[in-house]
Structure 1
Amino acid sequence: MKEFAGRVAVITGAASGIGFGLARRFAQDGMHIVLADIESEPLAIAEAALNAMGTTTLAVRTDVTSPEQVERLAEAAFSTFGNVHILCNNAGVAGKFSMGTAGWEIPLSEWQWVLGVNLMGVLHGVRAFIPRMVANGEEGHIVNTASIAGLLSGASPYHVAKHGVVCLTEGLYKDFKSRGLRLSASVLCPGWIQTNLMDSERNRPPEFGAPTDRSLLSPTGLQAFEAVRSAVDDGISPADVAEQVFEAVRDDRFYVIPAQPGMREAVKQRMDAVVSMNNPAVGITP
Protein backbone atom coordinates (compact mmCIF):
# COMPACT_ATOMS: atom_id res chain seq x y z
CA MET A 1 0.00 0.00 0.00
CA LYS A 2 1.19 3.48 -0.86
CA GLU A 3 -1.84 5.56 0.06
CA PHE A 4 -3.02 5.71 3.69
CA ALA A 5 -4.93 8.96 4.21
CA GLY A 6 -8.67 8.45 4.46
CA ARG A 7 -8.35 4.66 4.53
CA VAL A 8 -9.32 2.36 7.40
CA ALA A 9 -7.22 0.28 9.79
CA VAL A 10 -8.61 -2.22 12.31
CA ILE A 11 -6.38 -3.25 15.21
CA THR A 12 -7.16 -5.84 17.87
CA GLY A 13 -5.43 -5.64 21.22
CA ALA A 14 -5.39 -1.92 20.47
CA ALA A 15 -5.72 -0.42 23.95
CA SER A 16 -2.05 -0.73 24.86
CA GLY A 17 1.40 -1.88 23.80
CA ILE A 18 2.05 -2.76 20.18
CA GLY A 19 -1.63 -2.42 19.29
CA PHE A 20 -1.88 1.17 20.45
CA GLY A 21 1.47 1.92 18.83
CA LEU A 22 0.09 0.66 15.51
CA ALA A 23 -3.08 2.70 15.93
CA ARG A 24 -1.12 5.91 16.57
CA ARG A 25 1.24 5.28 13.65
CA PHE A 26 -1.50 4.65 11.12
CA ALA A 27 -3.45 7.63 12.48
CA GLN A 28 -0.43 9.86 11.87
CA ASP A 29 -0.84 9.19 8.15
CA GLY A 30 -4.50 10.14 8.22
CA MET A 31 -6.15 6.74 8.49
CA HIS A 32 -9.49 6.14 10.20
CA ILE A 33 -8.92 3.73 13.10
CA VAL A 34 -11.07 0.95 14.51
CA LEU A 35 -9.83 -0.05 17.96
CA ALA A 36 -10.72 -3.43 19.44
CA ASP A 37 -9.74 -4.71 22.87
CA ILE A 38 -11.16 -6.87 25.64
CA GLU A 39 -10.54 -4.18 28.29
CA SER A 40 -13.25 -1.50 28.23
CA GLU A 41 -11.58 1.26 30.27
CA PRO A 42 -8.17 1.19 28.53
CA LEU A 43 -10.04 0.99 25.22
CA ALA A 44 -11.92 4.20 26.03
CA ILE A 45 -8.66 5.90 27.03
CA ALA A 46 -7.02 4.84 23.75
CA GLU A 47 -10.03 6.10 21.80
CA ALA A 48 -9.85 9.48 23.54
CA ALA A 49 -6.13 9.77 22.82
CA LEU A 50 -6.68 9.19 19.10
CA ASN A 51 -9.65 11.55 19.01
CA ALA A 52 -7.40 14.22 20.53
CA MET A 53 -5.15 13.77 17.49
CA GLY A 54 -8.12 14.56 15.25
CA THR A 55 -8.48 10.93 14.15
CA THR A 56 -11.84 9.48 13.16
CA THR A 57 -12.08 6.56 15.57
CA LEU A 58 -14.41 3.68 16.35
CA ALA A 59 -13.89 1.59 19.49
CA VAL A 60 -15.47 -1.86 19.82
CA ARG A 61 -14.96 -4.05 22.88
CA THR A 62 -14.03 -7.45 21.48
CA ASP A 63 -12.98 -10.82 22.85
CA VAL A 64 -11.11 -12.37 19.92
CA THR A 65 -11.65 -15.91 21.24
CA SER A 66 -15.30 -15.47 20.22
CA PRO A 67 -15.95 -15.73 16.47
CA GLU A 68 -19.29 -14.02 17.01
CA GLN A 69 -17.67 -10.99 18.62
CA VAL A 70 -15.06 -10.73 15.87
CA GLU A 71 -17.86 -10.92 13.28
CA ARG A 72 -19.61 -8.07 15.10
CA LEU A 73 -16.36 -6.10 15.01
CA ALA A 74 -16.14 -6.61 11.26
CA GLU A 75 -19.77 -5.64 10.77
CA ALA A 76 -19.24 -2.45 12.78
CA ALA A 77 -16.11 -1.53 10.82
CA PHE A 78 -17.57 -2.14 7.36
CA SER A 79 -20.96 -0.58 8.12
CA THR A 80 -19.29 2.54 9.54
CA PHE A 81 -16.54 3.08 6.99
CA GLY A 82 -17.52 1.00 3.95
CA ASN A 83 -14.28 -0.95 3.75
CA VAL A 84 -11.20 -1.98 5.72
CA HIS A 85 -7.75 -1.58 4.17
CA ILE A 86 -5.41 -2.71 6.96
CA LEU A 87 -6.28 -5.46 9.45
CA CYS A 88 -3.90 -6.01 12.36
CA ASN A 89 -4.73 -9.23 14.21
CA ASN A 90 -2.61 -8.22 17.17
CA ALA A 91 -4.35 -9.34 20.38
CA GLY A 92 -2.23 -11.74 22.40
CA VAL A 93 -1.63 -13.20 25.84
CA ALA A 94 1.22 -14.99 27.61
CA GLY A 95 0.40 -17.56 30.27
CA LYS A 96 2.58 -18.02 33.33
CA PHE A 97 2.14 -21.75 33.81
CA SER A 98 4.22 -22.44 30.71
CA MET A 99 7.43 -21.06 32.17
CA GLY A 100 9.72 -23.78 33.43
CA THR A 101 6.92 -26.34 33.04
CA ALA A 102 7.18 -29.41 30.80
CA GLY A 103 4.69 -29.38 27.94
CA TRP A 104 2.77 -32.39 29.22
CA GLU A 105 2.37 -30.80 32.65
CA ILE A 106 0.73 -27.60 31.41
CA PRO A 107 -3.01 -27.58 32.23
CA LEU A 108 -5.37 -28.04 29.31
CA SER A 109 -7.12 -24.79 30.26
CA GLU A 110 -3.84 -22.95 29.63
CA TRP A 111 -3.55 -24.45 26.17
CA GLN A 112 -7.16 -23.55 25.40
CA TRP A 113 -6.80 -19.94 26.54
CA VAL A 114 -3.45 -19.11 24.94
CA LEU A 115 -4.25 -20.84 21.65
CA GLY A 116 -7.74 -19.36 21.75
CA VAL A 117 -6.41 -15.80 21.81
CA ASN A 118 -3.08 -16.05 20.01
CA LEU A 119 -3.99 -18.42 17.18
CA MET A 120 -7.77 -18.75 16.92
CA GLY A 121 -8.16 -15.02 17.51
CA VAL A 122 -6.07 -14.41 14.40
CA LEU A 123 -8.06 -16.99 12.45
CA HIS A 124 -11.36 -15.41 13.51
CA GLY A 125 -10.09 -12.08 12.19
CA VAL A 126 -9.01 -13.68 8.91
CA ARG A 127 -12.40 -15.31 8.40
CA ALA A 128 -14.45 -12.27 9.38
CA PHE A 129 -12.58 -9.59 7.43
CA ILE A 130 -10.78 -11.01 4.40
CA PRO A 131 -13.85 -12.16 2.41
CA ARG A 132 -15.28 -8.64 2.65
CA MET A 133 -11.94 -7.06 1.74
CA VAL A 134 -11.62 -9.35 -1.29
CA ALA A 135 -15.18 -8.60 -2.39
CA ASN A 136 -14.60 -4.83 -2.22
CA GLY A 137 -11.62 -5.18 -4.54
CA GLU A 138 -9.47 -2.41 -3.08
CA GLU A 139 -5.85 -2.76 -2.08
CA GLY A 140 -5.27 -3.87 1.48
CA HIS A 141 -2.88 -5.51 3.89
CA ILE A 142 -3.14 -8.05 6.71
CA VAL A 143 -0.67 -7.84 9.61
CA ASN A 144 -0.73 -10.81 11.98
CA THR A 145 1.23 -10.55 15.22
CA ALA A 146 3.23 -13.68 15.95
CA SER A 147 6.46 -13.57 17.96
CA ILE A 148 10.12 -14.42 17.69
CA ALA A 149 8.88 -17.53 19.54
CA GLY A 150 7.12 -18.48 16.32
CA LEU A 151 10.53 -18.82 14.65
CA LEU A 152 12.10 -20.74 17.54
CA SER A 153 10.67 -23.72 19.42
CA GLY A 154 9.22 -24.81 22.73
CA ALA A 155 6.54 -27.18 24.03
CA SER A 156 4.40 -24.33 25.35
CA PRO A 157 1.04 -22.96 24.21
CA TYR A 158 2.70 -19.65 23.38
CA HIS A 159 5.33 -21.15 21.06
CA VAL A 160 2.82 -23.45 19.38
CA ALA A 161 0.31 -20.64 18.80
CA LYS A 162 2.90 -18.28 17.39
CA HIS A 163 4.26 -20.95 15.03
CA GLY A 164 0.71 -21.36 13.79
CA VAL A 165 0.38 -17.62 13.15
CA VAL A 166 3.60 -17.56 11.11
CA CYS A 167 2.45 -20.52 9.02
CA LEU A 168 -1.07 -19.16 8.52
CA THR A 169 0.19 -15.73 7.47
CA GLU A 170 2.70 -17.09 4.98
CA GLY A 171 -0.09 -19.17 3.49
CA LEU A 172 -2.32 -16.11 3.21
CA TYR A 173 0.44 -14.20 1.45
CA LYS A 174 0.81 -17.01 -1.09
CA ASP A 175 -2.96 -17.20 -1.58
CA PHE A 176 -3.23 -13.47 -2.21
CA LYS A 177 -0.38 -13.41 -4.72
CA SER A 178 -1.31 -16.60 -6.58
CA ARG A 179 -4.88 -15.36 -7.05
CA GLY A 180 -3.83 -11.93 -8.26
CA LEU A 181 -5.69 -10.18 -5.44
CA ARG A 182 -4.96 -6.62 -4.36
CA LEU A 183 -4.21 -7.79 -0.83
CA SER A 184 -0.93 -8.69 0.82
CA ALA A 185 0.25 -9.83 4.24
CA SER A 186 3.01 -9.40 6.80
CA VAL A 187 3.83 -11.36 9.91
CA LEU A 188 5.15 -9.47 12.93
CA CYS A 189 7.64 -11.47 15.02
CA PRO A 190 8.70 -9.23 17.92
CA GLY A 191 11.37 -10.00 20.45
CA TRP A 192 11.40 -8.25 23.83
CA ILE A 193 9.03 -5.28 23.55
CA GLN A 194 7.91 -2.82 26.23
CA THR A 195 4.33 -4.06 26.70
CA ASN A 196 2.15 -5.39 29.50
CA LEU A 197 2.07 -8.87 27.96
CA MET A 198 3.46 -10.34 31.18
CA ASP A 199 0.32 -9.17 32.97
CA SER A 200 -2.01 -11.03 30.59
CA GLU A 201 -3.54 -12.99 33.46
CA ARG A 202 -5.65 -9.94 34.33
CA ASN A 203 -7.78 -10.78 31.30
CA ARG A 204 -8.05 -14.55 31.73
CA PRO A 205 -11.76 -15.46 31.43
CA PRO A 206 -13.05 -17.67 34.25
CA GLU A 207 -13.88 -20.51 31.85
CA PHE A 208 -10.14 -20.96 31.30
CA GLY A 209 -9.40 -21.30 35.01
CA ALA A 210 -8.42 -18.92 37.76
CA PRO A 211 -5.50 -16.54 37.20
CA THR A 212 -2.25 -18.29 37.98
CA ASP A 213 -1.00 -17.86 41.53
CA ARG A 214 2.67 -17.04 41.07
CA SER A 215 3.42 -18.83 44.34
CA LEU A 216 2.47 -22.06 42.55
CA LEU A 217 5.23 -21.68 40.02
CA SER A 218 8.29 -23.81 40.44
CA PRO A 219 11.50 -21.99 41.40
CA THR A 220 12.66 -22.44 37.82
CA GLY A 221 9.36 -21.13 36.52
CA LEU A 222 9.41 -18.09 38.81
CA GLN A 223 12.99 -17.32 37.85
CA ALA A 224 12.08 -17.57 34.17
CA PHE A 225 9.07 -15.32 34.64
CA GLU A 226 11.06 -12.60 36.38
CA ALA A 227 13.82 -12.80 33.77
CA VAL A 228 11.30 -12.35 30.96
CA ARG A 229 9.60 -9.45 32.73
CA SER A 230 12.96 -7.71 33.12
CA ALA A 231 13.75 -8.26 29.44
CA VAL A 232 10.33 -6.90 28.44
CA ASP A 233 10.78 -3.81 30.60
CA ASP A 234 14.09 -3.10 28.84
CA GLY A 235 12.77 -3.98 25.39
CA ILE A 236 12.08 -2.14 22.16
CA SER A 237 9.41 0.56 22.30
CA PRO A 238 5.99 -0.11 20.70
CA ALA A 239 6.46 3.06 18.64
CA ASP A 240 9.60 1.59 17.05
CA VAL A 241 7.74 -1.65 16.31
CA ALA A 242 4.85 0.29 14.77
CA GLU A 243 7.22 2.21 12.51
CA GLN A 244 8.69 -1.04 11.21
CA VAL A 245 5.20 -2.42 10.57
CA PHE A 246 4.19 0.75 8.73
CA GLU A 247 7.24 0.49 6.49
CA ALA A 248 6.52 -3.20 5.82
CA VAL A 249 2.95 -2.43 4.75
CA ARG A 250 4.12 0.45 2.56
CA ASP A 251 6.91 -1.61 0.95
CA ASP A 252 5.04 -4.95 0.85
CA ARG A 253 7.58 -6.73 3.04
CA PHE A 254 6.43 -10.00 4.61
CA TYR A 255 8.65 -10.55 7.67
CA VAL A 256 8.83 -7.85 10.35
CA ILE A 257 11.25 -8.89 13.09
CA PRO A 258 11.94 -6.16 15.66
CA ALA A 259 14.08 -8.34 17.89
CA GLN A 260 17.34 -8.25 19.78
CA PRO A 261 20.49 -9.49 17.95
CA GLY A 262 20.77 -12.59 20.16
CA MET A 263 17.26 -13.63 19.20
CA ARG A 264 17.94 -13.18 15.51
CA GLU A 265 21.05 -15.31 15.86
CA ALA A 266 19.05 -18.02 17.65
CA VAL A 267 16.60 -18.08 14.73
CA LYS A 268 19.46 -18.42 12.25
CA GLN A 269 20.96 -21.28 14.24
CA ARG A 270 17.62 -23.08 14.36
CA MET A 271 17.02 -22.67 10.64
CA ASP A 272 20.53 -23.90 9.86
CA ALA A 273 19.90 -26.95 12.07
CA VAL A 274 16.62 -27.68 10.27
CA VAL A 275 18.24 -27.54 6.82
CA SER A 276 21.16 -29.65 8.06
CA MET A 277 18.74 -32.10 9.73
CA ASN A 278 20.54 -31.71 13.05
CA ASN A 279 18.79 -32.48 16.31
CA PRO A 280 17.28 -29.48 18.13
CA ALA A 281 19.63 -27.65 20.45
CA VAL A 282 18.74 -27.99 24.12
CA GLY A 283 18.39 -24.82 26.14
CA ILE A 284 16.01 -22.01 27.09
CA THR A 285 14.62 -20.14 24.10
CA PRO A 286 12.54 -16.95 24.13
Structure 2
Amino acid sequence: MKDLKDKVAVITGAGSGFGRELALLCAAENMRLVLADIDAAGLEGTQALLPAGTAALLQRCDVSQADSVQALAERTYAQYGAAHLLFNNAGVAVAGPTWTTTTDEWRWVLGVNLMGVVHGVQAFVPRMLAQQDECHVVNTASVAGLLSVPASSVYCVSKHGVVTLSECLHHELRAAGARIHVSVLCPAFVNTGIADSGRHRPPELSAANPLAEAYEARVRKAVRSGKISAAEVARITMDAVKADRFYILTHPNIKPAIEARMRDILDERAPTNPMP
Protein backbone atom coordinates (compact mmCIF):
# COMPACT_ATOMS: atom_id res chain seq x y z
CA MET A 1 0.00 0.00 0.00
CA LYS A 2 1.91 2.98 -1.27
CA ASP A 3 -0.90 5.52 -1.58
CA LEU A 4 -2.40 6.02 1.89
CA LYS A 5 -4.12 9.39 1.41
CA ASP A 6 -7.78 9.33 2.50
CA LYS A 7 -7.52 5.64 3.43
CA VAL A 8 -8.76 4.47 6.83
CA ALA A 9 -6.32 3.27 9.51
CA VAL A 10 -7.55 1.40 12.59
CA ILE A 11 -5.09 1.28 15.49
CA THR A 12 -5.59 -0.57 18.78
CA GLY A 13 -3.40 0.42 21.70
CA ALA A 14 -3.42 3.94 20.24
CA GLY A 15 -3.26 5.67 23.62
CA SER A 16 0.53 5.32 24.00
CA GLY A 17 3.72 3.78 22.65
CA PHE A 18 3.76 2.35 19.14
CA GLY A 19 0.05 2.99 18.68
CA ARG A 20 0.40 6.70 19.34
CA GLU A 21 3.37 7.03 17.01
CA LEU A 22 1.60 5.07 14.28
CA ALA A 23 -1.38 7.39 14.62
CA LEU A 24 0.88 10.42 14.11
CA LEU A 25 2.45 8.90 10.99
CA CYS A 26 -0.91 7.86 9.55
CA ALA A 27 -2.19 11.39 10.15
CA ALA A 28 0.87 12.74 8.32
CA GLU A 29 -0.18 10.56 5.36
CA ASN A 30 -3.60 12.28 5.44
CA MET A 31 -5.34 9.08 6.46
CA ARG A 32 -8.61 8.96 8.37
CA LEU A 33 -8.07 7.39 11.79
CA VAL A 34 -9.89 5.07 14.14
CA LEU A 35 -8.04 5.08 17.46
CA ALA A 36 -8.87 2.46 20.08
CA ASP A 37 -7.53 1.78 23.55
CA ILE A 38 -8.77 0.69 26.96
CA ASP A 39 -7.18 3.94 28.24
CA ALA A 40 -9.61 6.73 27.28
CA ALA A 41 -7.32 9.43 28.69
CA GLY A 42 -4.44 8.09 26.62
CA LEU A 43 -6.58 8.29 23.49
CA GLU A 44 -7.35 11.92 24.21
CA GLY A 45 -3.63 12.55 24.67
CA THR A 46 -2.94 11.04 21.26
CA GLN A 47 -5.72 13.06 19.65
CA ALA A 48 -4.24 16.25 21.09
CA LEU A 49 -1.01 15.58 19.18
CA LEU A 50 -2.66 15.09 15.80
CA PRO A 51 -2.44 17.83 13.16
CA ALA A 52 -5.44 20.15 13.02
CA GLY A 53 -8.13 18.85 10.73
CA THR A 54 -7.23 15.15 11.09
CA ALA A 55 -10.33 12.96 10.88
CA ALA A 56 -10.10 10.78 13.98
CA LEU A 57 -12.69 8.54 15.59
CA LEU A 58 -11.88 7.58 19.20
CA GLN A 59 -13.31 4.53 20.92
CA ARG A 60 -12.56 2.87 24.23
CA CYS A 61 -12.05 -0.79 23.40
CA ASP A 62 -11.03 -3.88 25.37
CA VAL A 63 -9.44 -6.07 22.71
CA SER A 64 -9.63 -9.14 24.97
CA GLN A 65 -13.41 -9.04 24.49
CA ALA A 66 -14.68 -10.09 21.07
CA ASP A 67 -17.86 -8.00 21.32
CA SER A 68 -15.81 -4.87 22.08
CA VAL A 69 -13.73 -5.33 18.92
CA GLN A 70 -16.81 -6.13 16.87
CA ALA A 71 -18.33 -2.87 18.12
CA LEU A 72 -15.17 -1.08 17.00
CA ALA A 73 -15.49 -2.57 13.51
CA GLU A 74 -19.17 -1.71 13.31
CA ARG A 75 -18.52 1.90 14.25
CA THR A 76 -15.59 2.14 11.83
CA TYR A 77 -17.70 1.00 8.89
CA ALA A 78 -20.68 3.10 9.95
CA GLN A 79 -18.45 6.19 10.04
CA TYR A 80 -16.10 5.62 7.11
CA GLY A 81 -17.53 2.68 5.14
CA ALA A 82 -14.14 0.98 4.99
CA ALA A 83 -10.93 0.01 6.77
CA HIS A 84 -7.71 -0.27 4.80
CA LEU A 85 -4.91 -0.49 7.34
CA LEU A 86 -5.43 -2.42 10.59
CA PHE A 87 -2.85 -2.34 13.38
CA ASN A 88 -3.61 -5.05 15.95
CA ASN A 89 -1.20 -3.38 18.32
CA ALA A 90 -2.56 -3.43 21.91
CA GLY A 91 -0.30 -5.34 24.31
CA VAL A 92 0.53 -5.99 27.96
CA ALA A 93 3.30 -7.84 29.78
CA VAL A 94 4.18 -9.68 32.97
CA ALA A 95 7.46 -11.25 34.07
CA GLY A 96 8.69 -13.97 36.40
CA PRO A 97 9.55 -17.68 36.45
CA THR A 98 6.95 -19.95 34.89
CA TRP A 99 6.34 -21.85 38.13
CA THR A 100 5.35 -18.67 39.95
CA THR A 101 3.02 -17.33 37.24
CA THR A 102 -0.68 -17.31 38.01
CA THR A 103 -3.70 -18.37 36.01
CA ASP A 104 -4.86 -14.74 36.14
CA GLU A 105 -1.63 -13.62 34.45
CA TRP A 106 -2.07 -16.15 31.66
CA ARG A 107 -5.69 -15.16 31.10
CA TRP A 108 -4.89 -11.45 31.07
CA VAL A 109 -1.83 -11.50 28.81
CA LEU A 110 -3.16 -14.10 26.37
CA GLY A 111 -6.50 -12.31 26.33
CA VAL A 112 -4.95 -9.02 25.24
CA ASN A 113 -1.85 -10.02 23.28
CA LEU A 114 -3.12 -13.07 21.41
CA MET A 115 -6.91 -13.04 21.52
CA GLY A 116 -6.84 -9.30 20.87
CA VAL A 117 -5.24 -10.06 17.51
CA VAL A 118 -7.66 -12.93 16.87
CA HIS A 119 -10.60 -10.64 17.60
CA GLY A 120 -9.17 -7.94 15.33
CA VAL A 121 -8.76 -10.38 12.45
CA GLN A 122 -12.24 -11.86 12.93
CA ALA A 123 -13.91 -8.45 13.16
CA PHE A 124 -12.14 -6.68 10.29
CA VAL A 125 -10.81 -9.18 7.74
CA PRO A 126 -14.25 -10.42 6.57
CA ARG A 127 -15.27 -6.80 6.05
CA MET A 128 -12.01 -6.07 4.22
CA LEU A 129 -12.63 -9.05 1.94
CA ALA A 130 -16.07 -7.69 1.10
CA GLN A 131 -14.53 -4.28 0.27
CA GLN A 132 -12.31 -5.83 -2.40
CA ASP A 133 -9.85 -2.97 -1.85
CA GLU A 134 -6.13 -3.27 -1.25
CA CYS A 135 -5.75 -3.60 2.55
CA HIS A 136 -3.01 -4.41 5.03
CA VAL A 137 -3.02 -5.99 8.51
CA VAL A 138 -0.10 -5.41 10.88
CA ASN A 139 0.01 -7.59 13.99
CA THR A 140 2.32 -6.45 16.77
CA ALA A 141 4.33 -9.37 18.13
CA SER A 142 7.87 -9.03 19.50
CA VAL A 143 11.27 -10.66 19.26
CA ALA A 144 9.78 -12.56 22.20
CA GLY A 145 7.67 -14.23 19.50
CA LEU A 146 10.85 -15.51 17.84
CA LEU A 147 12.90 -16.32 20.96
CA SER A 148 12.31 -18.00 24.32
CA VAL A 149 13.34 -15.52 26.98
CA PRO A 150 13.83 -16.67 30.60
CA ALA A 151 11.28 -15.27 33.08
CA SER A 152 8.99 -14.27 30.19
CA SER A 153 7.06 -17.45 29.41
CA VAL A 154 3.62 -15.82 29.57
CA TYR A 155 4.65 -12.98 27.29
CA CYS A 156 6.65 -15.21 24.93
CA VAL A 157 3.80 -17.69 24.52
CA SER A 158 1.43 -14.85 23.63
CA LYS A 159 3.83 -13.36 21.09
CA HIS A 160 4.83 -16.70 19.53
CA GLY A 161 1.11 -17.15 18.98
CA VAL A 162 0.87 -13.80 17.20
CA VAL A 163 3.76 -14.71 14.89
CA THR A 164 2.34 -18.05 13.78
CA LEU A 165 -1.19 -16.62 13.53
CA SER A 166 0.19 -13.95 11.19
CA GLU A 167 2.03 -16.52 9.09
CA CYS A 168 -1.11 -18.66 8.79
CA LEU A 169 -3.19 -15.61 7.89
CA HIS A 170 -0.69 -14.65 5.19
CA HIS A 171 -0.92 -18.10 3.60
CA GLU A 172 -4.71 -18.18 3.85
CA LEU A 173 -5.18 -14.77 2.23
CA ARG A 174 -2.79 -15.65 -0.60
CA ALA A 175 -4.66 -18.91 -1.21
CA ALA A 176 -7.93 -16.95 -1.30
CA GLY A 177 -6.55 -14.50 -3.85
CA ALA A 178 -7.34 -11.66 -1.46
CA ARG A 179 -5.98 -8.12 -1.83
CA ILE A 180 -5.13 -8.08 1.87
CA HIS A 181 -1.47 -8.19 2.90
CA VAL A 182 -0.06 -9.04 6.31
CA SER A 183 2.96 -7.99 8.37
CA VAL A 184 4.13 -9.06 11.80
CA LEU A 185 6.05 -6.49 13.85
CA CYS A 186 8.79 -7.96 16.07
CA PRO A 187 10.63 -5.22 17.99
CA ALA A 188 13.06 -5.77 20.86
CA PHE A 189 13.38 -3.41 23.84
CA VAL A 190 11.78 -0.03 23.20
CA ASN A 191 10.93 2.62 25.78
CA THR A 192 7.13 2.40 25.72
CA GLY A 193 4.59 2.12 28.54
CA ILE A 194 4.26 -1.67 28.32
CA ALA A 195 6.33 -2.21 31.49
CA ASP A 196 3.61 -0.37 33.38
CA SER A 197 0.68 -2.03 31.64
CA GLY A 198 -0.49 -3.53 34.94
CA ARG A 199 -2.31 -0.27 35.63
CA HIS A 200 -4.98 -1.46 33.19
CA ARG A 201 -5.21 -4.98 34.54
CA PRO A 202 -8.82 -6.04 35.29
CA PRO A 203 -9.46 -6.43 39.03
CA GLU A 204 -10.91 -9.89 38.45
CA LEU A 205 -7.51 -10.97 37.04
CA SER A 206 -5.41 -9.36 39.75
CA ALA A 207 -3.52 -12.37 41.14
CA ALA A 208 0.16 -11.80 40.38
CA ASN A 209 3.13 -14.08 40.87
CA PRO A 210 5.05 -13.36 44.09
CA LEU A 211 8.23 -12.41 42.21
CA ALA A 212 6.47 -10.07 39.79
CA GLU A 213 7.66 -6.81 41.33
CA ALA A 214 11.33 -7.72 41.24
CA TYR A 215 11.22 -9.08 37.70
CA GLU A 216 9.11 -6.24 36.36
CA ALA A 217 11.67 -3.77 37.75
CA ARG A 218 14.24 -5.50 35.53
CA VAL A 219 11.91 -5.22 32.55
CA ARG A 220 11.45 -1.48 33.15
CA LYS A 221 15.20 -1.01 33.25
CA ALA A 222 15.61 -3.01 30.04
CA VAL A 223 12.94 -1.17 28.05
CA ARG A 224 14.26 2.20 29.20
CA SER A 225 17.66 1.22 27.85
CA GLY A 226 16.23 0.63 24.38
CA LYS A 227 18.27 2.44 21.75
CA ILE A 228 15.42 2.68 19.23
CA SER A 229 12.45 4.92 20.00
CA ALA A 230 8.80 4.09 19.55
CA ALA A 231 8.70 6.75 16.83
CA GLU A 232 11.49 5.00 14.93
CA VAL A 233 9.72 1.62 15.23
CA ALA A 234 6.56 3.23 13.84
CA ARG A 235 8.49 4.71 10.92
CA ILE A 236 10.08 1.35 10.11
CA THR A 237 6.64 -0.26 10.31
CA MET A 238 5.06 2.22 7.90
CA ASP A 239 7.95 1.73 5.47
CA ALA A 240 7.35 -2.03 5.67
CA VAL A 241 3.65 -1.58 4.89
CA LYS A 242 4.49 0.45 1.80
CA ALA A 243 7.06 -2.16 0.74
CA ASP A 244 4.69 -5.08 1.54
CA ARG A 245 7.25 -6.69 3.84
CA PHE A 246 5.95 -9.48 6.07
CA TYR A 247 8.56 -9.73 8.87
CA ILE A 248 9.38 -6.39 10.47
CA LEU A 249 12.54 -6.79 12.58
CA THR A 250 13.37 -3.37 13.95
CA HIS A 251 16.47 -4.46 15.88
CA PRO A 252 18.94 -6.18 13.50
CA ASN A 253 21.29 -7.01 16.39
CA ILE A 254 18.81 -9.64 17.59
CA LYS A 255 19.13 -11.72 14.40
CA PRO A 256 22.07 -13.84 15.64
CA ALA A 257 19.94 -14.99 18.61
CA ILE A 258 17.11 -15.93 16.25
CA GLU A 259 19.54 -17.80 14.03
CA ALA A 260 20.94 -19.65 17.06
CA ARG A 261 17.44 -20.76 18.05
CA MET A 262 16.73 -22.06 14.54
CA ARG A 263 20.03 -23.93 14.59
CA ASP A 264 19.23 -25.40 18.02
CA ILE A 265 15.99 -26.80 16.58
CA LEU A 266 17.53 -28.17 13.39
CA ASP A 267 20.47 -29.72 15.25
CA GLU A 268 18.15 -31.05 17.98
CA ARG A 269 20.28 -29.59 20.75
CA ALA A 270 19.40 -27.88 24.01
CA PRO A 271 18.17 -24.29 23.54
CA THR A 272 20.66 -21.46 23.75
CA ASN A 273 19.79 -18.76 26.30
CA PRO A 274 19.15 -15.60 24.24
CA MET A 275 19.82 -13.40 27.27
CA PRO A 276 22.63 -15.04 29.25
TM-score grouping bracket, smaller chain normalisation: over 0.9
Secondary structure at 1:186 match in 2: strand
- 3-state SS of the aligned residue for 2:271? coil
Aligned equivalents of 1:230 and 1:104: distance in 2? 23
Question: Of residues 188, 200, 203 in structure 1, which corresponds to 2:200?
Answer: 203
CA distance in 2, matches of 1:27, 1:275: 44
Per-residue Cα deviation, 1:127-176 (whole angstroms, up to 9, x for no partner): 00000000110000000000100000156110000000000001111111
How far apart, in 2, do the equivalents of 1:225 and 1:110 lie?
13
Q: Distance in 1 between matches of 2:82 and 2:247?
A: 25
1:216-231 map, 5 Å = 216-217=210-211, 222=214, 224-231=215-222
Match 1:147 to one of 129, 142, 149: 142
Q: Deviations over 1:217-252 (max 9, x none)?
A: 27xx72x43332122112111111111111111111
1:253 and 2:245 are equivalent in the alignment: yes
2:39 match: 39
Secondary structure of 2:53's aligned partner: coil
Equivalent position SS for 1:142: strand
Q: Which residue of 2 aligns with 1:125?
A: 120
Match runs of 1:93-242 below 5 Å: 93-95=92-94, 98-99=95-96, 101=97, 103-154=98-149, 156-209=153-206, 212=208, 216-217=210-211, 222=214, 224-235=215-226, 236-242=228-234
Q: 1:9 to 1:171 in 2, by over 3 A?
A: same
Moved over 6 A (4+): none
SS in 2 for 1:9: strand
Mapped pair 1:273 → 2:264: yes
Quick check: 2:186–2:249 contact (8 Å CA) kept in 1?
yes
Distance in 2 (alpha carbons) for counterparts of 1:193 and 1:36: 21
Is the Cα–Cα contact under 8 Å of residues 191 and 260 in structure 1 kept in the other structure? no
In the alignment, structure 2 segments of 5+ residues that lack a partner are none
Q: Residue 34 of structure 2 aligns to a residue in which SS?
A: strand
In the aligned structure 2, how far is the partner of 1:42 from the partner of 1:179?
Answer: 38
**Structure 1 residue aligned with 2:70:** 71
* Superposition RMSD in Å: 1.7
- Separation (CA, whole Å) in 2 of partners of 1:24 and 1:260: 25
Show the counterpart of 2:235: 243
SS across alignment from 1:119: helix
Equivalent residue number for residue 82 of structure 1: 81
Alignment partner, residue 11 of structure 2: 11
Give the C-alpha shift of residue 53 in structure 1: 3.8
**What's the counterpart of residue 26 of structure 1?**
26
State the distance in 1 between where 2:167 and 2:273 align: 27
| Shift in Å, 1:49 | 2.0
Contact 1:192 1:260 in 2 (8 A): no
SS of aligned partner of 2:187: coil
Number of aligned residue pairs: give it.
273
Cα distance in 2 between the residues matched to 1:201 and 1:227: 15
Q: Check the 8 A contact 1:47/1:58 in 2, yes or no.
A: no
